[in-house]
Structure 1
Amino acid sequence: MAYFERLGPDRFRPTSHVSGAWDESMQHIGPALGLLVHAIESDCAARREDPMVISRLTYELLGVVPMDVVDVRVELIRPGRTIELVEATYGQGDRTGIRLRAWLQQSRDTTAVAGDGFDPIPPPADMEPWDPTTIWRGGYLASAQVRRDSAGPGRARYWVRTAVPLLADDDDDEVSTLARMAGLFDIANGMAVRADPSRVHYPNIDLTAHLVRPPQGEWVGFDTRVTFGPGGLGLTASVIHDEAGPLGTVSQSLTVRP
């Protein structure tokens, strides 16, 4: 079973793997983030013959989304020969639950000047398996395979993958590695646990990913720090990796509610 079944060109039904960690009658937004990337990449491929790569994903989480059929719409906001801004929305009827704006760029060879300042993390084989359902509810967290090295509240390094495809096998569209991995980006807020979620709620209200190259492989790695401020605000900040090295960063604004 996949995360979504396609019902039409822009309509999808979430499966039980999408049920949320805070409320199982609502969708976990993780798989939706991947589906929106897939929609933007499919739209770009249909419009252009020259390939583009995504350099930034900014999701605004406008409200909870019940476990029901959703509509996905894509709009070109800023056309360009080498850079484009594209928007995708995810909602039910007139109600938009998630809005994504993505910058796409034309790829060019910068191998001669490539480099990064991020710290490496141990590979998946060097970390112990961890079951997120010991803390979290819902089908989405149950679908994740996690290997984790926790350094205490709000600090962890870990790798995540899933055997669940984004779309059902009978879907004709090929899902990219980035779309599949983007469906795991939101998991960061639940992997470096700072407070018992039965005592403190801290859902995120957005997610931004900055990428320096397309990802490879099955595993996505995170080096995560979670901070709660004294006035109800919080931040989950991660450097993300694949097994070839750093990919970029993911950040999530939190609303902290004891």
Structure 2
Amino acid sequence: MTDLCPTGPEAGGQAFYRNLGDGRYESSSATAGPWSAKAQHAGPPSALLGRAMEEHGAGDGFRVARVTVELPRPVPVAELHVQVRTVRSGGRTHLVEGELTANGDTVMLARTWHIAAAPADTPTLRPAAGPPPLPGPQTPHTMAGAQPYGYIAAMEWRFEPGKGFDTPGPGTVWARQRIPLVAGEPDTPLTRALTLADSNWAVAFQLDHVRQFVINTDITLALHREPVGEWFCLRSETAASPSGSGLALGRLDDTAGDCGRVLQTLLVADR
């Protein structure tokens, strides 16, 4: 594997992936998650799969309204193969299914709804106040017990003053990519949002993920409009119940305001 991104905290590498053609992508060390250099954070591969499903859309007049990603097993930092197919295509909706494989194993599944764009006279509804202002530059953020390189370093994080990943949630963070998703190819609003979406429950660490085993099994990103710009604000909180499971809900804003929601199911178990 060629290293497309250094493992230092500056994360000044080229991209999360390199396009090898025929649906194959080389993963860089920047994709590595916080707990292992061999397993990817789900953000970049979610965006990679979302990118392919977005390109497989219904064309002009349609927009991606929802992406649901299933995480059957860890995604290795290795060559990945992307496949997509149309499940249903109609005059107002278009459903696309995608699969990500590594070494012949299915490591990620997803479905995307493309729907016809709403009419111009649709009212603008924003049920909550806008996001807090974007804080100024901060020193690189880390996480207790996590490696300080890979995905965490490849993103720029700006928390509320005095807070960070290890501050018990609910939580709020502004974040953006330091590097593109695919080397030499432009990011899209959807891929930028998906690259961040899996970080939702980590922004609101309300369950003790050190004492217990806590992991999300899925990611749903729902967008009521096309995001703008490179910065996103996630305001996240977690619900959980004994003999139940966890549920992390995040509101996604860009610099223009509310643009969507993130939902994750959390498995909570004894270590």
TM-score (structure 1 length as normaliser): 0.89
RMSD in angstroms over aligned alpha carbons? 2.1
Q: Which moved more, 1:175-184 or 1:14-23?
A: 175-184
Q: CA deviation at 1:208?
A: 0.7
Matched, 1:79 2:61: no
| 2:141 aligned residue | 132
Q: Secondary structure at the match of 2:111?
A: strand
Amino acid at match of 2:169: G
Q: In proportion to residue count, which structure has more helix?
A: 1
Count of aligned positions: 251
The 1:162/1:64 distance shift into structure 2, 3 A limit, reads: same
Q: Counterparts in 2 of 1:81-230, with a 5 A limit?
A: 81-125=91-135, 129=138, 131-135=140-144, 136-137=146-147, 138-149=149-160, 150=163, 153-169=168-184, 171=185, 174-195=186-207, 197-230=209-242
Q: CA deviation at 1:130?
A: 6.4
The 1:255/1:131 distance shift into structure 2, 3 A limit, reads: farther
Amino acid at match of 2:128: F
The 1:55/1:130 distance shift into structure 2, 3 A limit, reads: farther
The 1:7/1:128 distance shift into structure 2, 3 A limit, reads: closer
The 1:111/1:23 distance shift into structure 2, 3 A limit, reads: farther
Listed one character per residue, the Cα deviations across residues 185-221 of structure 1 (whole Å, up to 9, x for unaligned) are 1111212222454333311000111110000011111
| 2:63 aligned residue | 53
| 2:3 aligned residue | none
Amino acid at match of 1:19: A
**Mapped contact 1:128–1:148 kept (Cα < 8 A):** no
Matched, 1:66 2:66: no
Q: Distance in 2 between matches of 1:198 and 1:7?
A: 38
| 1:12 aligned residue | 25
| 2:4 aligned residue | none
**Mapped contact 2:29–2:37 kept (Cα < 8 A):** no
Listed one character per residue, the Cα deviations across residues 48-102 of structure 1 (whole Å, up to 9, x for unaligned) are 5524201111111111122110100010001112211101111124421111101
**Mapped contact 1:232–1:257 kept (Cα < 8 A):** no
| 2:7 aligned residue | none
